[in-house]
Amino acid sequence: MSEFTLTKRNDISPKCPHCEEELGEVFYQTKGRGLLEGRNAIYYCPSCHKVLGVGQGVAK
Domain boundaries in the chain?
A: 30-57
pLDDT at 60: 52
Taking a C-beta distance cutoff of 8 angstroms, is the pair 21, 45 a contact? yes
What is the tens place of the pLDDT at every residue in 5-60? 999 999 999 999 999 999 999 999 988 765 666 789 999 999 999 999 999 876 55
Which amino acid type is present at position 1?
Answer: M
Q: Measured between alpha carbons, how far is 51 from 38 in angstroms, rounded to an integer?
A: 20
